[in-house]
Amino acid sequence: MIRIVCGGKKNAGWAIEACAEYEKRLRKPYDTHWEFYDEDKLIARLEKWPFDKASCYVICCDERGKNISSGEYSKILERAFVGGREVVILIGGAYGFPEFVREKADFVWSFSRLVFPHIMARIITLEQTYRASQIAMGGKYHHE
């Protein structure tokens, strides 16, 4: 399972609809569970770092991270699943994450050198996770 932990607001109907489309396509181990927090509460939660390194592989979405291909993302997820780890993806609110979050994450992922609103980051995360699942299973969704 992939747990997606988000800061910011949940309320944009069009984004919820777009996310729902990809969520219904995802199957184990790529199925998702969401946790939403106001941005200040998310940072307070992360200060206590609720993730066990042995059982969780934490990906922090941040513009200062590494830009990777869809195939590389698929391999990252597959390695985590083969290792029996839960994948946790962190998506910040409008102000992103403080340095300590990036330092504690297993991987810091940048979608692009562009900055996206957190609502778009949620959609990109799900679309890329679906794409990664299709790459891993040899599906027809991804074209090289």
Q: For 44-87, write each residue's pLDDT tens digit.
A: 999 999 999 999 999 999 999 999 999 999 999 999 999 899 99
Residue 118 has pLDDT above 90, yes or no: no
The residue with tokens 């985590």 is 80
What is the mean pLDDT of the segment spanning 121-130? 95
DSSP structure class, residue 76: H
What pLDDT is stored for residue 6 in this prediction?
93
Query: Could you count the other beta carbons within 10 Å of the beta carbon of residue 127?
Result: 17
What stretches of the chain adopt beta strand conformation (E)?
2-7, 32-37, 56-67, 86-91, 107-110
Chain centroid, CA 82 distance in Å: 18
What pLDDT is stored for residue 20 in this prediction?
92
What is the mean pLDDT of the segment spanning 123-141? 93
Residue 93 has pLDDT above 90, yes or no: no
| Length of the chain in terms of residues written | 144
* Whole-angstrom distance, CA of residue 85 vs CA of residue 80: 5
Express each pLDDT in 7-46 by its tens digit: 977 777 888 899 999 999 998 889 999 999 998 899 999 9
Residue 127 has pLDDT above 80, yes or no: yes
What pLDDT is stored for residue 139 in this prediction?
83
Decide if 121 contacts 129 (C-beta within 8 A): no
Residue 142 has pLDDT above 90, yes or no: no
Fold of the 2-99+116-137 domain: Alpha/beta knot (3.40.1280)
Lookup: tokens for 125: 């995360």
Amino acid identity at 25? R
Decide if 18 contacts 103 (C-beta within 8 A): no
* Whole-angstrom distance, CA of residue 118 vs CA of residue 36: 12
Number of H helices, E strands in the chain: 5, 5
Residue from 9, 34, 6, 7 nearest 20 by CA: 34
